[in-house]
């Protein structure tokens, strides 16, 4: 048998697991890339994540040029063609390498009967995928997003803004860490968010030592906007994995409903030197009665994640808006904060139904944030903050500071 590069083999395994077994791309990649050296690992990640992100466009090309519905193909053939098509369209791979190794992946899957078909389709893609994709009109098919996500982005930003946003989230964003303690990493660059440093790569030894924490500027901004101080009682209602929790000052209680994520939260906080945080396993919408009378509450709610699609390549295909849960969490927070206490509501999405509409439905009074952070003021509701990947180079976050009025 001809050789298949370790990087392509790993990317192929990720595609199979994500689309045939509903695995998460990051978890599938971690296991598939075990044993790869740094260069192979980086190439495998680019191929795997890129193919997952671009799958709608790739399937369009495979069906148009291969003249067979993708859903009717054997899973190994489907994964091999998607990987090969991505390399031809987006990765500057030599056409013969993309063709030959895609064919070899099918052969290794013991699908000899499908080898001629795979070879024929790959050769048609090699000749035609460039002109085909170039002829597509700008929009969700060309940029490979579900139509509903494109429509959300258009509502928020208009057609041109939506297109710029989709393009930005098809590329890697900046790499940023939060300085936990000590001096910044060598070569790190200060940013417009205090404590956030732009780096070439995350040095895992420094993470393990608790000196830095990988966390986008948008995420760090949300943690800063809580404004917690020493001497205050602070509740973090949806705390795992703990990046924002580690930013909070005062007597902090962190709530997490999932036991496995609660373990991860404890481990992460220990690594950051935050043994002072109390972790409680509970449902944020049905808190134990003793969790009451807090000065500040952070509600970093579960959401559709439309602001972090660059970092999570499979999320665009499984994203679900969660406005009912978000409103329930916000109302739960309002019951547990003292009169006059503040609630910081943040979500890593740009969907108005999960952002402004949830805040408006809560009935809580808004404390304007746009004046404090004018660079990140929401374009149409400046009392809120909205970080935008195509404008700010960071993940997309909606941030609102709210207050429970005194009784």
Predicted confidence at residue 1, as pLDDT, reads 56
Model confidence pLDDT, tens digit, residues 139-188: 999 999 999 999 999 999 999 999 999 999 999 999 999 999 999 999 99
- CATH superfamily to which 216-403 belongs: Vaccinia Virus protein VP39 (3.40.50.150)
The dihedral sign for the CA sequence 22, 24, 27, 28:
positive
Nearest to residue 170, comparing CAs of 229, 226, 89, 93? 89
Length of the chain: 407
Question: Which pLDDT band holds residue 407 (cuts at 50, 70, 90)?
Answer: low
Predicted confidence at residue 404, as pLDDT, reads 82
- The stretch 37-62 carries a mean pLDDT of 96
Model confidence pLDDT, tens digit, residues 188-236: 999 999 999 999 999 999 999 999 999 999 999 999 999 999 999 999 9
Model confidence pLDDT, tens digit, residues 330-366: 999 999 999 999 999 999 999 999 999 999 999 999 9
- The stretch 9-27 carries a mean pLDDT of 96
Q: Which runs of consecutive H residues, i.e. helices, occur in 68-114?
A: 75-90, 95-108
Predicted confidence at residue 171, as pLDDT, reads 94
6-136 shares its CATH topology with 216-403: no
Predicted confidence at residue 3, as pLDDT, reads 78
CA-CA distance, 31 to 16, in Å (whole number)?
A: 13
Nearest to residue 404, comparing CAs of 318, 296, 307? 296
| Contact present, 350 and 321 (Cβ < 8 Å) | no
Question: Which pLDDT band holds residue 4 (cuts at 50, 70, 90)?
Answer: confident
**Helix or strand holding residue 382 (H, E):** none
Percent helix / strand / coil, the chain, rounded to 5: 50, 15, 35
CA-CA distance, 228 to 383, in Å (whole number)?
A: 20
Question: Which positions are catalytic?
Answer: 348
CA-CA distance, 61 to 213, in Å (whole number)?
A: 40
Entry pTM: 0.95
Percent of the chain with pLDDT over 70: 99
Model confidence pLDDT, tens digit, residues 53-101: 999 999 999 999 999 999 999 999 999 999 999 999 999 888 899 999 9
Predicted confidence at residue 36, as pLDDT, reads 94
- Cis geometry, peptide bond prior to residue 241 (ω within 30 degrees of 0): yes
- The stretch 385-395 carries a mean pLDDT of 98
Give Cβ neighbours of residue 360 (< 8 Å, ≥ 6 apart): none
Predicted confidence at residue 2, as pLDDT, reads 65
User: Mean pLDDT in the chain?
Assistant: 96
What are the residue ranges spanned by the domains of the chain?
6-136, 216-403
**What number does CATH give the domain 6-136?**
1.10.940.10
């Amino acid at each position: 048998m001809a050789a298949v590069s370790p990087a392509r083999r790993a990317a192929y395994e990720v595609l199979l697991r994500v689309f045939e077994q509903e695995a998460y791309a990051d978890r599938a990649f971690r296991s598939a890339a075990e044993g790869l050296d740094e260069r192979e690992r980086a190439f495998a990640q680019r191929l795997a994540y890129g193919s997952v992100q671009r799958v709608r466009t790739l399937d369009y090309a495979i069906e148009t040029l291969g003249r067979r519905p993708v859903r009717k193909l054997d899973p190994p053939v489907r994964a091999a063609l998607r990987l090969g098509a991505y390399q031809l369209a987006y990765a500057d791979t030599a056409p013969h390498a993309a063709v030959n190794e895609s064919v070899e992946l099918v052969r290794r899957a013991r699908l000899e009967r499908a080898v001629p078909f795979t070879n024929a389709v790959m050769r048609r893609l090699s000749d035609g995928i460039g002109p085909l994709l170039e002829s597509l009109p700008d929009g969700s098919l060309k940029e490979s997003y579900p139509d509903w996500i494109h429509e959300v982005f258009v509502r928020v930003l208009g057609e041109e803004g939506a297109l710029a946003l989709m393009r930005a989230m098809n590329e890697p964003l900046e790499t940023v860490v939060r300085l936990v303690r000590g001096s910044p990493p060598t070569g790190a660059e200060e940013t417009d968010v205090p404590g956030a440093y732009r780096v070439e790569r995350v040095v895992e030894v420094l993470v393990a030592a608790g000196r830095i924490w990988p966390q986008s500027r948008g995420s760090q901004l949300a943690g800063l906007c809580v404004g917690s101080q020493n001497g205050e009682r602070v509740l973090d209602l949806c705390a795992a994995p703990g990046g924002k929790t580690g930013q909070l000052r005062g007597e902090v209680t962190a709530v997490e409903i999932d036991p496995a994520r609660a373990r991860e939260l404890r481990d992460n906080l220990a690594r950051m030197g935050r043994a002072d945080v109390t972790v409680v396993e509970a449902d944020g919408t049905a808190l134990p009665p003793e969790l009451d009378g807090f000065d500040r509450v952070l509600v970093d709610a579960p959401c559709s994640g439309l602001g972090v699609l660059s970092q999570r390549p499979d999320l665009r295909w499984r994203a679900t808006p969660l406005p009912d849960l978000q409103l329930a969490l916000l109302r739960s927070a309002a019951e547990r904060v003292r009169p006059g206490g503040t609630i910081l509501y943040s979500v890593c999405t740009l969907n108005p139904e999960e952002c402004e509409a949830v805040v408006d439905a809560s009935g809580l009074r808004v404390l304007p944030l746009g004046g404090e952070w004018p660079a990140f003021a929401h374009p149409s509701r400046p009392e809120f903050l909205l970080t935008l990947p195509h404008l700010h180079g960071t993940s997309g976050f909606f941030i609102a500071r709210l207050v429970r009025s005194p009784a």
